[in-house]
Chains A and B, each alone.
Chain A
Amino acid sequence: MSTYLKPAAMLLLLFTLLTGVIYPALVTLLAQLLFKDQANGSLIMDQHNQPVGSALIGQAFSGPGYFWSRPSATSPYSYNAGASSGSNLGPTNPALIEAVAGRIAALKAADPDSTAAVPVDLITASGSGLDPHISVAAAEYQLRRVARVRNLAEPQVQALLKANTENRQWLVFGEPRVNVLKLNLALDQLGGR
């Protein structure tokens, strides 16, 4: 048996060293040298060099003067970046339909004059619970409300929205989208609350 046990144990030990220590250490070293910002979480810094969030991790917004992010199923609060989670509600689960109806009601209550159909991503929970984006449609749906609450002209907000819209990557991959935190930070810079 030792003809098997020795190579098994030794190779496991050596490969643990190689793939479990040297490999991640090498990747970390190169990552920190080549892509320092990305490797450390793509943080957004304010003028005092304090982090105000990550460009990749969404935050929750409920004030009518901000663009709202997508619903999030993390607990105990939305957008808990320490415990990512989706809702896992099945498509025929009554709890899902009820939650969606509630979210539509909240959106309508914040903007009673709106008659447009609500874009689907704005009333469904993301897979990660940390989705930093909403669709362009979901941003435009909220544009009038934000402009009204902040006493800004709609074209002004529209311009900000456009500046914070990310196209398909390399014009092909993924979907066009709006980074909600970046857009709201830009809105606050503009003032008007």
Chain B
Amino acid sequence: MTSQGFLQIGIYLTALLLLVRPLGGYMARVYQDESVGLNRWFGGVEKLLYRLSGVKVDQEMRWTQYAIALLVFNFVSFLLVYGLQRFQDMLPLNPQALSAVSADSAFNTAVSFVTNTNWQGYGGETTMSDLTQMLGLAVQNFLSAASGMAVLVALIRGFVRRNTGVIGNFWVDMTRSTLYILLPLSLILALLLVGQGVVQTFNPYRAVSLLEPVSYQTPRLDTAGKAVIDAEGKPVTETVQSGQQTLAMGPAASQIAIKQLGTNGGGFFNVNSAHPYENPTPLSNFLEMLAIVLIPAALCYTFGVMIGDVRQGWAMLAAMTLVFVSLVFVAVPAEQAGNPAFTSLGVNQQASEQQSGGNMEGKDVRFGVVNSALWAVATTATSNGSVNAMHDSFTPIGGMAPMWLIELGEVIYGGVGSGLYGMIIYALIAVFLAGLMIGRTPEYLGKKIEAFEVKMSGIAILISPLMVLAGTAIAVMSDAGKASVFNSGAHGFSEVLYAFSSAGNNNGSAFAGLSANVPFYNFMLGLAMLFSRYWVMIPVLAIAGSMAAKKTVPVGPGTLSTHTPLFVMLLIGCVLMVGALTFVPALALGPIVEHLQMSSHAAMR
């Protein structure tokens, strides 16, 4: 790694950590219904929203009511996104006259956006009309993120309150998350991005002339529009010359801002944030990368403020950041080392002031190796899933780091809201384990952790490994699953494992060689996304309800402090142990085998 690489990573982490406190404090004020500067602007809108939809602000919910409200809201959202896709050919704002999306793909995409996964089986610019992108996908970018934040806030209230049955009002938490946090931040980021060159227009695609015309082969069509077949049964091709390039455009900036801030990740274009119109400059890349981790990191501080002990929040953030930084220094050097097979062909992969060097397949020059690998770690540590480089073309170890971060359950920052509530679940497991060791009833934040909470935590932690490993096993044993694999051998297995890891933890990134837009994967991955989202959320809300009903126990000499470096290490240990024990066997069959193949192949030359 070069000193420039270290510098860029250092600036990134510093900027991130500096923003945690101001934003985290602001969000705490929003959720505690204290006055924030934006009340003046949005206070009236907020009241109007409640009045029109019949929400009674001070009517709080029990955990079951909270869960039902969340599920109903997400279900009507699903219906809307599904319907928009199925009827987009008959609806307005479809300048490219794109046809309706197939049922299985529309199901997958609707689930994907409602669950904050944003797995994309389709190519944006060739599939979705402007209307679908705006009213369907972009809206869910806000609302699925707000749903996650609401569940986190409910869980925090569970720890703060005592002897009560209620944990807040879902409609209010969701509305305030959107109105006071996601919308204003998105507006600012969208404009900053347009300034860098991200497109934002409702004009149709633009044709421009090429400096040097291109010629290419295309199947010859007969008058009926069918491909002509020659005597040997192969399609006849003809050479076509084109002097024009069609530039796909659209209202991208507004969608990209929220896709990064809301840990959504679904791009406007097929190649997501690698597309120069989504991510045109190194600065836009820096801003987007910052936006990916910003809210999940800042929520740690919000948590600390709300429970009245900011040290607890910092401890969470410290655990997350330590794992994050370690994985950055696995992925970046692996990518910088390049592909040994190229070296023997006489390729210069050495980093210098003239070139970034390293494994540049699937990466763009303006980002180079460092910003591509750093992005890969950030987007998978969080449940964002947007990509600025093709993970499928990463080196085996460089690609394993992001895959394993997803498999850790999206708790290293994780999704907005969902990352921290996932980490709090791990904290419960950690105090439970510590309690077993010292023989005392475990406590966390002044609440006794009993059998019910541990069982719920168990469900929340085990559902995603089940989805990932069972899903992968079914896929690699069935012909339908194997037919979609693009790269052969160990790498092909990695493609399938990555797909189920991504869907089974609501990340959304992919080893995109896998042809996932087929009924088998649309259905299987759709199920994985559904289960792993709601079978974590529901147990978390159950814990929130049971915590709120308990009394607070005072800190005693036997209480394990949960803000110390010792506890941070214990927490990291729990996360890594579950992640390693569950997934190392599967990883050994994919990236690890491929790494050994790659290095032994190079050694033989």
Question: Which residues does A use to contact B, with CB under 8 Å?
Answer: 1, 4-12, 14-16, 18-21, 23-24, 26-28, 30-32, 34-35, 38-43, 50-63, 66, 70, 76-93, 96-97, 100-101, 104, 116-121, 123-138, 140, 168-170, 172-177, 181, 184-185, 188
Contacts and interface: CB of A to CB of B under 8 A. Distances in A.
Given A51-B209, A174-B366, A89 B487 contact: yes
Nearest to B202: A28
B49 interface: yes
A53 B197 CA distance: 14
B534 interface: no
Given A23-B254, A90-B392, A172 B11 contact: yes
Interface in B438-497: 486-491, 494
14 contacts: A4-B69, A19-B141, A23-B187, A27-B251, A28-B251, A59-B211, A81-B248, A84-B274, A90-B594, A91-B594, A92-B601, A120-B358, A173-B371, A181-B211
Contacts of A133: 364-366
Given A87-B361, A91-B395, A60 B139 contact: no
B352 interface: yes
A31 B368 contact: no
Contact of A61 (B212, B275, B366, B367): B212
Given A23-B186, A120-B338, A41 B286 contact: no
Nearest to B203: A40
Interface string B210-242: 111011111000000000000000000000001
B129 to A, nearest CB: 13
A21 B253 contact: no
Given A91-B359, A130-B276, A39 B342 contact: no
B123 interface: yes
Given A11-B171, A52-B208, A97 B341 contact: yes
A188 to B, nearest CB: 7
A172 B282 CA distance: 9
B276 A174 contact: no
Interface of B: 4, 7-8, 11, 45, 49, 52-55, 68-69, 72-73, 75-77, 80, 123, 125-126, 134-136, 138-139, 141-143, 171, 174-175, 178, 183, 186-187, 190-191, 194-203, 205-206, 208-212, 214-218, 242, 245-249, 251, 253-255, 257-258, 269-271, 274-277, 280-283, 285-286, 338-339, 341-342, 345-349, 352-368, 371-372, 387-390, 392-396, 486-491, 494, 511-513, 594, 597-598, 601
Contacts of A58: 276
Given A24-B251, A175-B356, A126 B594 contact: no
Given A81-B245, A100-B345, A124-B359, 18 more contacts: A4-B72, A12-B77, A26-B187, A34-B195, A53-B208, A54-B276, A77-B242, A90-B393, A90-B491, A121-B355, A127-B274, A127-B372, A127-B393, A128-B364, A131-B276, A169-B281, A175-B356, A175-B371
A133 B348 CA distance: 18
Contacts, number: 403
A11 B53 contact: yes
A139 B493 CA distance: 38
A86 B216 contact: no
Q: Which of A118, A172, A173, A188 has the most CB of B within 10 A?
A: A173
B513 A88 contact: yes
Contact of B76 (A8, A14, A81): A8
Give the most central of A19, A57, A121: most B CB within 10 Å. A19
Contacts of A96: 341, 361, 393
A175 B282 contact: yes
A42 B252 CA distance: 14
Contacts of A140: 354
A7 B55 CA distance: 6
A91 B371 contact: no
A104 B349 contact: no
Contacts of B512: 86, 88
B260 to A, nearest CB: 14
